[in-house]
Amino acid sequence: MADDAGQQRELVYCHACENEWYRDQHGLKCPNCSSEVVEIIEERSDPRRHRLNISNGEDEDTVMGNSDDRLPHNPLPRDDPWRDNVPDPDEPDIEHVEWNPAPGVHFARTSFRSSGPTMRPRSQDPNDMFAPLFQSVSTIFEGAANAGRPPQRDGPPRAVPQILHPLFPMGNPFPEYQHHHTHHHHSPWDGPQGGRSVFTATGRWPPNGPGPSPNDRNAQNVQNVLATLLQTMQAGMAEQRGQPSPMGANLPAFIVQMLGNGTHGDAVFSDEALDRIITQMMEQTNTNSAPGPASAAAIAALPKKEADKAMMGQDGKAECSVCMDAVEIGDEVTVLPCNHWFHGECVGAWLKEHDTCPHCRQGIMPKDGPREADAPRSPGQAPRHNLNPFLTTINPNANPGTPPSRGSGPNGVNTQSGMQQPYVPGGYPGYPEPTNPVRPLGHHQGSYSQPPSPQQQQRHRRRSAHSQRSSNGGEGSSGGGGQGVTGWFRNLRGGNSGNR
């Protein structure tokens, strides 16, 4: 594998078995383990890089001196701006990079990741640019709040910590300088497949050692750096919004671009960017939080009946609300335990993926019983899944026949929208008033103590996934929420003490 080959042919890396191959030979599926969790290696994003750090457990000089020797198979040229400054982390799963773009400015990024078998492939779709960040959780360090604190060690002055171990505080040689904020500690992306990044931007301590009163100067120094950074970030954002940036030219274009986009590599630099990533990740994974399928046997065992007059709406018409085709008297329909009926084929296609009524979102599987129950619940039995935020009632005595057809007009509004009328079963022809209130069942009901707007519903989920990262400053928040970069820094500084 010569260097030129790597530039002309795309090299693909398998996250599952660490195999590598050329895309034009074996495509995007690992020829070794058949995994589809693969990534096209790019100069700027080499998934093997964190392995590189693992492979050498010695000091920085050794790393730099031997880096080529360590990588006999690496076809990529050594043009990575980060790479010359890559010190070796002590922990195998940490990628740590540092950069000093200007005197007094010090960037460090530490990524933690464990390459679980379910990592996503890197997508080539530009719209999917956040995909590689799927498991990235941003953790932010900064030294500003330290500024007023005297250094508690003797010896030569030195830069603020060069090695950051937020996950392993015991291993940190400079615990007194560390402040970290972790976004969503308990996000679904933490854990076995989790990864996170630490981004630090700090100023150096005075080079001439701790003078009689270095602290004020330290504070000023750090403040200045932060101010510069802040201006840069704002400049980047201003540029993004199409306004000229007075600061943009003063710092390397790299930073501006990086900060302007709000994302780079595994790190994000603004709350909005993080939010977007999270949202996108949730969109990609959110089927996990939806109820699973109903069992095929239970679907097949759903009662069928011929549509009768009672099932027709007030105008004498009815339709299957899945396909929206008209249902005539005498047509065979399938009736769910909630008494909503549909074409058997239509509702079957939905139920085999989601155990919820297409109309009221109550499931057909019984709450109690084996996972693969071979019969649907009886109407009086509690559903295993009940995603209906408004209908906290199951209705054992409901009249058969519940036209889901609503046509247009007031009944045609989507009842899921919390901004509109809540779902009222009695509002539909033939649908009796609920008579038998029970508590909402199933874990999906947890957040529905009152009818939320759909957005609130969504927020509930996102909040739980973000672990309270919100503009109202949930604990554990980096304070990133809802206020742009300025607030981001403000909160970062204000909230430091609690997290140290």
Partner 1 sequence: MAQKRIVKEYSELQKNPPLGMKISLPSEADMHQWQILIDGPKGSPYEGGVFTLQLSLPTEYPFKPPTLSFKTKIYHPNVTNDDKGSMCLGMLRADEWKPSSKIDAVLGFARRLLSEPQPDDAVEGGIAREFKENKKEFIKNAKAWTKQYAKK
Binding residues (CB under 8 A) for partner 1: these are 127, 241, 271-272, 275-276, 279, 282-283, 286-287, 289-290, 321-325, 346, 349-350, 353, 356-359, 361, 387, 404, 408, 412-414, 416-417, 419-420, 453-459, 461, 471, 480-484, 487
Report the residue number, 283 or 368, with the smaller CB distance to partner 1.
Answer: 283
Closest distance to partner 1 from the beta carbon of 414 (Å):
3
Report the residue number, 217 or 352, with the smaller CB distance to partner 1.
Answer: 352
Closest distance to partner 1 from the beta carbon of 412 (Å):
7
Closest distance to partner 1 from the beta carbon of 203 (Å):
26
SS3 of residue 82 by DSSP: coil
Report the residue number, 197 or 491, with the smaller CB distance to partner 1.
Answer: 491
Query: 46-83: b or e for each residue (b if 16 or more CB lie within 10 Å)?
Result: bbbbbbbbbebeeeeeebbeebeebbeebbbeeebeeb
Report the residue number, 22 or 350, with the smaller CB distance to partner 1.
Answer: 350
Report the residue number, 172 or 458, with the smaller CB distance to partner 1.
Answer: 458
Instruction: Point out which residues pair with 106 in neighbouring strands.
Output: 202
Closest distance to partner 1 from the beta carbon of 286 (Å):
5
Closest distance to partner 1 from the beta carbon of 348 (Å):
11
User: Is 183 buried (19+), middle (13-18) or exposed (0-12) by CB count in 10 A?
Assistant: buried
Closest distance to partner 1 from the beta carbon of 453 (Å):
7
Sheet holding 304-306, edge to edge: 304-306, 332-335, 341-342
Closest distance to partner 1 from the beta carbon of 26 (Å):
29
Closest distance to partner 1 from the beta carbon of 497 (Å):
23
- Angle formed by the axes of helices 214-240 and 484-494, nearest 10°: 150
Q: What element of type H or E holds 39?
A: strand 38-40
Closest distance to partner 1 from the beta carbon of 462 (Å):
8
Closest distance to partner 1 from the beta carbon of 258 (Å):
16
SS3 of residue 418 by DSSP: coil
Report the residue number, 250 or 471, with the smaller CB distance to partner 1.
Answer: 471
Sign of torsion over alpha carbons 330, 333, 337, 339: negative
Beta strands in 142-256 (DSSP E): 180-182, 195-202
DSSP-derived pairing of the beta strands 195-202 and 136-141: parallel
Name the token pair of 315: 């105008």
Report the residue number, 147 or 335, with the smaller CB distance to partner 1.
Answer: 335
Report the residue number, 32 or 457, with the smaller CB distance to partner 1.
Answer: 457
Q: Which residues contact 52 (CB under 8 A, 6 or more apart)?
A: 67, 70, 71
483-492: long-range pairs with CB below 8 Å, 24+: 483/271, 484/237, 484/270, 484/271, 484/272, 485/230, 485/233, 485/234, 485/237, 485/269, 485/270, 486/230, 486/234, 487/271, 488/270, 488/271, 489/142, 489/226, 489/230, 492/140, 492/142, 492/144, 492/181
Closest CA to 161 of 145, 143, 147, 149: 143
Report the residue number, 67 or 286, with the smaller CB distance to partner 1.
Answer: 286
Closest distance to partner 1 from the beta carbon of 406 (Å):
9
Distance from C-alpha of 14 to C-alpha of 141, rounded to nearest angstrom: 32
Report the residue number, 105 or 273, with the smaller CB distance to partner 1.
Answer: 273
Distance from C-alpha of 42 to C-alpha of 437, rounded to nearest angstrom: 58
Beta strands in 401-479 (DSSP E): none
Report the residue number, 202 or 405, with the smaller CB distance to partner 1.
Answer: 405
The dihedrals phi and psi of 398, each to the nearest 5 degrees, come to -60, 145
